[in-house]
Amino acid sequence: MRIAGLMASEVLDLIEEHVVPGITTDELNTICHQHIVDVQQATPAPLNYRGFPKSICTSVNHTICHGIPNDKKLKKGDILNIDVTVIKDGYFGDTSRMYYVGTPSANAAKLCEVAYECMARGIEVVKPGCTLGDIGHAIQVHAESNHYSIVREYCGHGIGSSFHEEPQVLHYGKPGTGPQLEAGMTFTIEPMVNQGRRHTKLLSDDWTVITKDRSLSAQWEHTVLVTPQGYDLLTMSDGRSL
Ligand code: MF3
Ligand code: CO
Ligand code: CO
C-alpha cells in the first residue's frame, strides 16, 4: 500500500505543471494514464470501475466529485480537483488535491484552503482508540465555522486490496460515536466542502456530482494508516508534509 500510495501522489505531483489555461481535462487524463501504465507499470483504478470511462476524476468548479475528463478547455480562474487511484501489485492508493488554473478568486482560494484544513484536522485526530465520529466531527466543525458546508452523500472509505471497503468514513458526526480505530487499519479521508449549501445533484451521465445550488466545491484526499502512535499518510510524496 505504501508503494501504490506513493505512486498515486507522484501522479498528482507531475500533473501540476500541466494545469494551465487552455488544456482540457481529457489531456490531463491522458498524461496521467500514460504515466501510470508506462512508467509506473500500474493500473489506474477508475478506468472501467463500475463503468467509469476514464483513468482519473477531474472535478471543476461546482463539480463536487467524480467529474469525467472531457474536451472542454480549462480557463483562468477555474479550480479543479484531480483524484488519482493507482493499483500496484494488488493494492490501492487513493489521493486527490485541488489545483488552480491561473490565479483563483480570493473566494475560491479560501474555499480550497479551508477544505485542505478540514482534511488535515480529520487526519490529526487519527490514533488507536479514537472513533470515526471524532474524525467526522473535527472536519465538520472546521467547515461550518468558516460558513461552508460538508457533503453528506459521499464519504471516505476503507481501502486495501480493493477500492472501496468498510468502513464508511463520514466527514461529519458526533465525538465518541462509531467504531474505534485500531492500528493497522487503512482508509481514506476526503472531505468535500461546498461554498454554499451541502446538497448534491447527480448529472445524467450517472457519475458527475455537482452542487445543487451551483456553488463552488473543493476536496482533498489522503490514504491513511492507523499506527500505534497515531497515523501515517500513505499518499504523501517524498519531501512533502501535511
Ligand atoms: N477516487 C474516488 C474516491 O476517492 C472514487 C472514484 S470512482 C470513479 O473514492 F469511478 F469515479 F473513479
Ligand atoms: Co477515495
Ligand atoms: Co479518490
242 domain-assigned: no
Ligand 1 contacts CB of residue 57 (under 6 A):
yes
- 238 Cα–ligand 3 center, Å: 20
Q: What is the pLDDT of residues 92-145, one digit of tens each?
A: 999 999 999 999 999 999 999 999 999 999 999 999 999 999 999 999 999 999
- Look at the block and give the residue holding cell 478506468: 47
pLDDT at res. 156: 99
Residue 110 lies in a domain: yes
State how many domains the chain has. Answer: 1
Q: What CATH number should be reported for the domain holding residue 78?
A: 3.90.230.10
pTM: predicted TM-score of the whole model, two decimal places: 0.99
Ligand 1 centroid from CA 213, angstroms: 23
Residue 95 lies in a domain: yes
Ligand 1 and 46: CB distance under 6 A: yes
Q: Which pLDDT score is estimated for 12?
A: 98
Expressed as residue numbers, the domain containing 181 is: 2-233
pLDDT at 123: 98
Residues 211/161, Cβ–Cβ less than 8 Å: no
Ligand nearest to the CA of 96: 3
Q: What is the DSSP string of 71-124?
A: SPBP-TT-EEEEEEEEEETTEEEEEEEEEESSSPPHHHHHHHHHHHHHHHHHHH
> 66 CB less than 6 Å from ligand 1?
yes
The verdict on residue 199 lying in a domain is yes
* 209-211 and 63-65 strand pairing: antiparallel
Residues in the chain, pLDDT under 50: none
Would you state the pLDDT for residue 239? 86
Please report the pLDDT score of residue 238 as a whole number: 87
With respect to residue 239, please indicate whether it lies within any of the assigned structural domains: no
Residue 241 located in a structural domain: no
The finding on whether 58 has its CB within 6 A of some atom of ligand 1 is no
The CA 71 to ligand 1 mean position distance, Å, reads 20
Q: Cα–chain-centroid distance for residue 214?
A: 20
